Structure formats: structure tokens, C-alpha cells
Amino acid sequence: MRYAIVGCGSRHEMFVRALTGPFADRHQLVALCDSNPVRLNMSRRNAGGGVGAYPAQDFARMLGETTPDVVIVATPDHLHATYVIAALDAGCDVICEKPLTVDAASLRAITLAQARSRGTVKVTFNYRYAPARSQIRDLLADGAIGQVVAVNFRWQLDRIHGADYFRRWHRQMENSGGLQVHKCTHHFDLLNWWLDSAPQSVAGSGQRAFYTPQTAERYGLAQHGKRCTGCAVKLDCPFALDLGADARLDAMYRAAEGADGYHRDLCIFDPEITIEDTLQAHIRYASGAVANYTLSAYAPQEGLQVTFIGTEGELHHQHTELHGIFGGTRSAHEHEHMSTVLHRSGHAPRNIPIPETQGDHGGADPVMLGYLLAPDSMPDLPHMAAPDTRAGCLSVATGLALVQSISTGQTVAISDILQPDWFAMG
């Protein structure tokens, strides 16, 4: 199969390594496309010889000249729909980084494009593929706690990882849909998948509580600049990002600034930020289950806790994560920890052994790449197949409903975001 990648930021590197490494005997990377010529040429060098490099405005020409079978979309979120639709209309299959897109209009446009195309869309919800997460799905599907009635789900981004969303393009709602869409789409997809059900309504609240000018004042950083580079208080700021200290970030972003003016190290206390850092949602599902969900982007530790309450018991999973080093340091005492506890009524709690794995995102990325790039080599498990357009739409719609609920104070029906005739939502 012939592959092209549009978007040469950090996430695309995983696909370049896969297509030019372990999957090179099956596939060929034929083209790369990006709006920034420095990043584009850097990616081309890393990919080796024989790969075409096209500026973003020549995406259509790239499709015509290199005839890819599959286009991987790894651009900023608000551009996803443009490239997904163009690739589908050219008859290509699409692998799209999450989220599928950032607004309801482009969700509809993507579903219409897929309906008229022979191409398919797969969304990279890598968290599904971490063995601990798929183990949870198996336990729930096997009735380990009977019928799932309620879920309490908390996701924590620490002040290293969480801060990074407030210094990049994600910090503007129109670019990312807020963390409700960009980040929470992972978690909403997990809930949909774990419960094997579709969300029906969302009520929620949100605020920017930490990444504010007021926090800068509390830290004695009121004289901060627009970005870390050249900032007068950089040496006093525990959140400062030194692009020059990381060879990869320096080459991919600082060296590329002159081409498009994009700054990777904007100040996280900028008053112009338009996204929230604290989110809560109450979600109702077609199955009758309800979920309470919380995201904080300035937590003392990174990770998640989720408890499923069923008619025959409870299932609890906890994961303390260490990843996403984007400036700052972590304490020496911090370490990865993961546990799953099953407590059936009338029985003592039981620790469920979790398979040991290697790879990013809790071992998820290698498994996901297998199902995306070589599904015939993977176990034939229907629930592990790569998520499709419907899964992408439902996760984004949950986030958009949360955005709307925060704005209006009202409960928002998913059918107000996704019209019921687009596809079955049972």
C-alpha cells in the first residue's frame, strides 16, 4: 500500500518510523505534506530517500502525482476535515489523528464525503489499545460486574503535560475545540467503547482556573512575556520551556519559526487563551448507564482513575503515568503504577493481573499500529478493529455537547450535534 502523510509535527513521526521500519515490507511512504518547509524537509530527510515533499497548498497535486492508497492526517485539529474530505474525494482511505474534527458542520461534511467515496476513515484512538484498557472492556463485556449502571472517571494532566496544551495552538478554541474535544475525545471514546453504547446527553461545567494571569501574579511572574524565549522572568518560572535544550524541539520548531511565525513556547499565563483547564461532565448513555467525568490539566500527578458500578459489583482501574516531558522536571519519587481491582458482591476484592507491555501510551501505540497497518497479522477481535467515522463522530459530539453545556448551562442532547439519520446511534 502507498501512504502519504499530511502534517509533519511531532505526532507524525510515529507513522514515519512505522512505515519506513517494521512495516516497510508491506507499505511504501510516498509523500509528505506540510505548510512549514523546514519541518517538511526535516521529515523528508528522516524518512530517507524517494519520498516526495509537497507544500500544503499542493495537497491535491500530491494526491495526483503520488497516487497514495492511504492518507494519514496529522495536522492541527481544525484542519483535519479539509484533508480528510479531499482524500476521500480522491478515492483514498484515511487514517486521522484524533479528534476527527472540531465542529458539527465538519462532522457532517466528513460523513457526506465518506458516503460518496469508496474510501474509509479510521481514527487513531490509541488508548483503546493499551492492554490494561482492552482488559477492562473484556471484563465488562463478560459480565464481571453484571450490568454497568454508573461510571466515575477522572483524568489528570499534571503541570508538565497539562501546561503544554496552553503554550501551543491548542490554546485557542477554534483550533482544537478546547480540551473537551482535543483531549477528552480520547476519554469519551473509551467510555463509549467500554460501555458498548452511544452517549445520549451531556450536562457539564468548565473553567480556566490555573493557567491565568492571576496565577502568574501568585508565582511572582506578572512581568512575563508572550513566550518563553526572551522572557524576563524565564529563570524564575517553573513552567518555562527551553526549546534549545531539546534537540528535537529545537530542530522541529525553533529552527522553523522563520517560515511561518509559529511559536511553540507561548506563555501559559497569556490572557488571550480561550480554552478551559478544568472540566466536568455528566453523560447519559443509550444503555441506561450514566458517567461522571472530570479532567484537570494542572494536577499533582499524571494519570487516571475509573470506577465502574454494576449490578453485581464494582471494577476499579488506576494508572499513574509518566510521559509528556515538555519542560520542567519530575520528582525522583514519581514512578509508573497501574492496578485493576474487581470486587464482586459477596466476595473479597481481587487484583486483576495486567499484561506487561512495551511502548508509548501504556503499550498502546505498537498494538494500534498493528491494527492500522497490518490487521491481518493481529488477533481477529472485532472490538479491536480500528475505530471508524461513527466512533470519531460520537466522541467529538460528546465534547461539543460539553462545550455547549458550559456555555448555556443546559443539558445538551447528542442528537442536537449529530442528526439521528447520519448513522444509528444505539
pLDDT digits (tens, 9 = 90+) for 251-281: 999 999 999 999 999 999 999 999 999 999 9
- Rounded CA separation 266/226 (Å): 6
- Rounded CA separation 159/167 (Å): 12
Quickly state the pLDDT bin for 424 (edges 50, 70, 90). Answer: low
Q: What is the pLDDT of residues 301-356, one digit of tens each?
A: 999 999 999 999 999 999 988 755 444 444 544 557 899 999 999 999 999 999 87
First to last CA, the chain: 34
- Rounded CA separation 72/74 (Å): 6
Q: For a pLDDT cut of 90, what percent of the chain falls above it? A: 86
The domain spans of the chain are 2-124, 127-210+273-363+386-416, 227-260
At 53 the pLDDT is: 97
- Rounded CA separation 290/199 (Å): 9
At 336 the pLDDT is: 73
Q: Over range 375-393, report the average pLDDT.
A: 93
Give the residue ranges of DSSP H helices in 223-377.
247-252, 257-260, 360-373
Q: Of 184, 371, 414, 120, which Cα lies nearest the Cα of 285?
A: 414
At 333 the pLDDT is: 47
Residue whose entry in the numeric block shows the C-alpha cell 503520488:
66
Lowest pLDDT segment from 55-69, 283-297, 373-387: 373-387
**DSSP category for residue 142:** T
At 298 the pLDDT is: 97
Q: Is the predicted pLDDT of residue 293 greater than 80, yes or no?
A: yes
Q: What is the pLDDT of residues 109-125, one digit of tens each?
A: 999 999 999 999 999 99
> What does the DSSP assignment read for 88-103?
HHTT-EEEEESSS-SS
At 357 the pLDDT is: 74
Residue whose entry in the numeric block shows the C-alpha cell 487516571:
304
At 133 the pLDDT is: 94
Lowest pLDDT segment from 39-53, 65-79, 181-195, 277-291: 39-53
At 351 the pLDDT is: 97
Q: Is the predicted pLDDT of residue 8 greater than 80, yes or no?
A: yes
Helices (H) and strands (E) in the chain, counts: 15, 15
Side chain identity, residue 253: Y
At 248 the pLDDT is: 87
Task: Could you please state the CATH topology (level 3) that the domain comprising 2-124 is classified under.
Answer: Rossmann fold (3.40.50)
Please give the mean pLDDT across all residues of the chain. Answer: 93
Question: Which CATH superfamily includes the segment(s) 127-210+273-363+386-416?
Answer: Dihydrodipicolinate Reductase; domain 2 (3.30.360.10)
- Rounded CA separation 404/233 (Å): 37
Q: What is the pLDDT of residues 122-141, one digit of tens each?
A: 999 999 999 999 999 999 99
At 335 the pLDDT is: 58
